[in-house]
Amino acid sequence: MTTQHTDTISRKVRTRFAPSPTGSLHIGGARTALFAYLWAKHNNGDFLLRVEDTDKVREVPGSGEEQREGLRWLGIQWDEGPEVGGEYGPYKQSERLDIYKEHAQILLDSGHAYYCFCTPERLDHMRRDQQAQKLPPRYDRHCLTLSAEEIASKQANNEKHVVRLKMPTEGAVVVRDMVRGELTFQYKDIDDQVLMKSDGYPTYHLANVVDDHLMEITDVIRGEEWLPSTPKHIYLYEVFGWQAPSFTHLTVFLSKKGGKMSKRDGETALLAFRSLGYLPEAVVNYSALLGWNPKTEEEFFSMSDLIEKFDLSMLNAGNPVFETEKLDWLNAQYLKKKSVQEFIEDIHTFKNHVTGENGDKISEFIEYFEFLPIQKQESIWSSLKERTKKLLDVVSVNEVLAELPEYDAELLVWKKSTKEGAIAALTAVIEQFKTVESEHFIVSEIQPAILDWIKTTEWGNGDVLWPTRFALSGLAQSPSPFELAEILGREESVRRLELAVQKLQR
């Protein structure tokens, strides 16, 4: 016997994202949601959100809300699900327990499932023995042969039990995956999966099949971790007499060190990217490109571009490495396209989403600038916008203004200059600064004055401006030396320049 599941007949495309509220939404999970959303919208279909809260032990209160906030941040809207409702509800599995019980009973009645009273301890020992003998761990069907009387008596005794799916022992099932093509699995390799747990909740396997069918999902788009259990799901569709949806199993994100992307190598939670100052459009653009591309040389995709161009047939089967370099670049590109006003608004919105130490830094930063004249603010924002990769980066300027960081003296020397040249230039700049009255120590006056003065020397701009800027900020990248000088004030500016000269003379 070979079960082959066929393509769905043409009906309105309906996809779903079904996270479990057991923690933060992972960036990889966010991409799964994105692709499911894109495919639905590409086909003018529906995208639904379903809460798979069937594991009461691992459930983290509030995580469902947080996951939804992440999706909203990315611009992914669900047509049905929590908060919006819909005709196929409830969309929380814990509110659908009767439905699962009813379907488990159908399987029990038809002989496709059976009660199992084995204790966790017995199962544990069994698996250990099997592994010791280098056999694949598999339920030994100890309870399959229980008589009706035995079952009745155990139930009367209130013995804890689960419901297991009785898999065929012969034949194979062919899974048609949109990414990998046809995959064959032997029934004999598939375990008798638990369908109903002893606490009355269904497992994922039963719940997802029942719900996907009842909610008329046409295309199941989910993570690769589900691929090995898809044969069980297809078998369930078959014994229920239902048509199975199409299956698309997405790759997992790897970290640069290899292995699944994990917290150890950087942030993995979607909202952590917001706290770092990434724009949702950059995160969407970057994640879409991990595993999908339209076979052209385009790099920039807005959500609506993606909806238009996305296709399941253009997905890759290999696991991509998630690296922030290109994300940073995309983010900087999106930032540059914004007006100064939009940038300032982004910074303010950003402030509301960052907590802790970084939140304090960004708040201080904004407060600090609010003391400056409007025009000054604008010019500094504008200058920052061009050199910011992530919104959080702007605080480094504030830190530098408050306290000059440690730096190596060699960095004061411009690439086309020498140490002696830097000393001479800095010394000359100090003299120039000292001649300016404090109240005239502003960009509009010192900038033209210094530039005119440089023309009268044998130096080029770089010979003077690089060491000056570096001495004032201690940074390779920062706003212009004139902007820094004005904000720091004459005394502090001179102090920092003198310090630089001392460092060079050491």
Partner RNA sequence: GCUCGCAUCGUCUAAUGGUUAGGACACCAGGUUUUCAUCCUGGCAAUCGGGGUUCGAUUCCCCGUGCGAGUACCA
State CA 401 to chain mean position distance: 33
Residues sharing a CB contact under 8 Å with residue 164, sequence separation 6 or more, in sequence order:
113, 114, 115, 116, 139, 143, 192, 193, 194, 195
When asked if residue 189 is in the footprint of RNA (CB under 7 A), the reply is: yes
When asked if residue 320 is in the footprint of RNA (CB under 7 A), the reply is: yes
Tell me the β-bridge partners of 51.
Answer: 92
Distance, CA of 224 to CA of 98 (rounded, Å)? 29
- DSSP codes of every residue in 194-240: EEE-TTSPBPHHHHHHHHHHHTT--EEEEEGGGGGGHHHHHHHHHHH
Please say which residue, 19 or 82, places its beta carbon nearer to RNA: 19
* Contact (Cβ atoms closer than 8 angstroms) between residue 113 and residue 163: yes
When asked if residue 346 is in the footprint of RNA (CB under 7 A), the reply is: no
When asked if residue 229 is in the footprint of RNA (CB under 7 A), the reply is: yes
Distance, CA of 348 to CA of 302 (rounded, Å)? 23
Please say which residue, 144 or 476, places its beta carbon nearer to RNA: 476
Q: Which of 237, 240, 242, 329 binds RNA (CB under 7 A)?
A: 329
Which DSSP letter does residue 135 get? P
Please say which residue, 3 or 478, places its beta carbon nearer to RNA: 478
Least distance in Å: CB of 446 to RNA? 10
Least distance in Å: CB of 275 to RNA? 21
Please say which residue, 105 or 352, places its beta carbon nearer to RNA: 105
Q: With CB under 7 A, what is the number of residues at the site for RNA?
A: 88
Interface segment toward RNA; rule CB under 7 A; list 40-48, 369-377, 418-426, 471-479: 471-479
When asked if residue 58 is in the footprint of RNA (CB under 7 A), the reply is: yes
Phi, psi for 502 (deg, rounded to 5): -60, -45
Q: Which of 66, 79, 224, 445 binds RNA (CB under 7 A)?
A: 224
Distance, CA of 262 to CA of 97 (rounded, Å)? 34
Provide the Cα torsion 150, 154, 157, 163; round to 10°: -150
Please say which residue, 11 or 264, places its beta carbon nearer to RNA: 264
When asked if residue 260 is in the footprint of RNA (CB under 7 A), the reply is: yes
When asked if residue 341 is in the footprint of RNA (CB under 7 A), the reply is: no
Distance, CA of 182 to CA of 175 (rounded, Å)? 6
Nearest of 344, 337, 248 to residue 34 by alpha carbon: 248
Residues 400-459 that bind RNA (CB under 7 A): 414-415, 447, 451
Buried b or exposed e, range 83-112, using 16+ CB within 10 angstroms: eeebebbebbbeebeebbeebbeebbeeeb
The count of other CB atoms within 10 Å of the CB of residue 204 is 18
Least distance in Å: CB of 132 to RNA? 11
Distance, CA of 75 to CA of 38 (rounded, Å)? 11
Least distance in Å: CB of 130 to RNA? 8
Least distance in Å: CB of 381 to RNA? 14
Nearest of 164, 190, 18, 193 to residue 104 by alpha carbon: 164
When asked if residue 382 is in the footprint of RNA (CB under 7 A), the reply is: no
What is the residue whose two structure tokens read 């309870």?
143
Residues 284-313 that bind RNA (CB under 7 A): 289-291, 293, 295, 297, 299
Please say which residue, 312 or 353, places its beta carbon nearer to RNA: 312
Phi, psi for 221 (deg, rounded to 5): -120, 115
Q: Which of 3, 15, 32, 54 binds RNA (CB under 7 A)?
A: 54
Q: Which of 282, 481, 485, 497 binds RNA (CB under 7 A)?
A: 481
Options 12, 188, 263, 337, the catalytic residue: 263
Residues sharing a CB contact under 8 Å with residue 123, sequence separation 6 or more, in sequence order:
139
Interface segment toward RNA; rule CB under 7 A; list 95-103, 305-313, 351-359, 475-483: 475-483
Q: 3-state DSSP call for residue 113?
A: strand
Q: Which of 43, 55, 243, 442 binds RNA (CB under 7 A)?
A: 55
When asked if residue 328 is in the footprint of RNA (CB under 7 A), the reply is: yes
Least distance in Å: CB of 44 to RNA? 25
When asked if residue 399 is in the footprint of RNA (CB under 7 A), the reply is: no
Residues 116-175 that bind RNA (CB under 7 A): 118-120, 123, 127, 134, 136-139, 160-162
Q: Which of 254, 423, 426, 488 binds RNA (CB under 7 A)?
A: 254
When asked if residue 495 is in the footprint of RNA (CB under 7 A), the reply is: no
Provide the Cα torsion 206, 210, 216, 222; round to 10°: -10
When asked if residue 201 is in the footprint of RNA (CB under 7 A), the reply is: yes
When asked if residue 94 is in the footprint of RNA (CB under 7 A), the reply is: no
Rg of the chain over Cα atoms, rounded to whole angstroms, equals 31
Please say which residue, 295 or 434, places its beta carbon nearer to RNA: 295
Q: Which of 41, 469, 490, 496 binds RNA (CB under 7 A)?
A: 469
- DSSP codes of every residue in 404-466: PPP--GGGGS-TTS-HHHHHHHHHHHHHHHHTS-GGG-SHHHHHHHHHHHHHTSS--HHHHHH
Q: 3-state DSSP call for residue 248?
A: strand
Residues 10-49 that bind RNA (CB under 7 A): 18-20, 22
Instruction: Check if 263 is active-site.
Output: yes
Please say which residue, 14 or 232, places its beta carbon nearer to RNA: 232
Please say which residue, 186 or 352, places its beta carbon nearer to RNA: 186
Least distance in Å: CB of 78 to RNA? 17
* Contact (Cβ atoms closer than 8 angstroms) between residue 478 and residue 397: yes
Least distance in Å: CB of 290 to RNA? 5
Least distance in Å: CB of 195 to RNA? 9
- Give the residue numbers annotated as catalytic, written as ranges: 263
